[in-house]
A and B are shown apart, each in its own frame.
Chain A
Amino acid sequence: AQTVTQSQPEMSVQEAETVTLSCTYDTSESNYYLFWYKQPPSRQMILVIRQEAYKQQNATENRFSVNFQKAAKSFSLKISDSQLGDTAMYFCAFMNLPPSGSRLTFGEGTQLTVNP
């Protein structure tokens, strides 16, 4: 079974600075998807970024980028120019390829606070 580990329960950053959230996972599969989800106080689950394991290029979405190290099974999220609205719980998640996969396995979460 796959496991996902987020070793930082809480982090804080000053507004406009850069922060990196860590995630490691364990799998015997060679192809899979990795995700970062954001959960603000509204508790809605919001997809931040998605990485396909067969793609060597790191995914980027505006201020959010990942550092995907497949051999090390590491998938960190970098948030640049942090904004107050980035304050949220962040979850790393793993999925085997659909259609036979599709179940998400989540990490424990990292509570990020952006300070003014």
Chain B
Amino acid sequence: DADVTQTPRNRITKTGKRIMLECSQTKGHDRMYWYRQDPGLGLRLIYYSFDVKDINKGEISDGYSVSRQAQAKFSLSLESAIPNQTALYFCATSDRDRGGYTFGSGTRLTVV
């Protein structure tokens, strides 16, 4: 099994719908992240969490929310999806002291 698992792998949803992207990890890392990838823009940080009780906004958090249900689970929600949220979304974890990252395989989200 993958160290960082994202579900779903692909999703098409309609404008205005609420959608949740899920992420779970078996790395035992405290730190988890959600990034968004757009062509020509690279990956940009949406939210991050350094432990279960610590949630922080990244550079593009508007329109998104997160929940850290446990050390191993970090979900991203789009309360009312809009077409410009169409993107590839990555969850990642990192080691606290050495900073090594492990990425999930991504969720490709299309909002129509």
Contact = CB atoms under 8 A, between A and B. Distances in A.
> Size band of the A side of the interface?
20 to 34
Contacts of A98: 94-99
A113 to B, nearest CB: 16
Interface stretch (B13-21, B44-52, B75-83): B44-52
Interface string A30-58: 00010000000011110100000000000
B97 A99 contact: yes
Interface in B58-112: 58, 88, 90, 92, 94-101, 103, 105-106, 108
Contacts, number: 59
A16 interface: no
B8 to A, nearest CB: 14
Nearest to B40: A108
A103 B33 contact: yes
- Give the secondary structure class of A's interface: loop
Interface of B: 31, 33, 35, 40-45, 48, 50, 58, 88, 90, 92, 94-101, 103, 105-106, 108
27 contacts: A6-B42, A9-B40, A33-B99, A42-B105, A43-B88, A43-B105, A43-B106, A45-B92, A45-B103, A47-B101, A91-B42, A98-B98, A99-B96, A101-B99, A102-B31, A102-B96, A103-B45, A103-B48, A103-B58, A104-B33, A104-B43, A106-B35, A106-B43, A106-B44, A107-B42, A108-B40, A108-B41
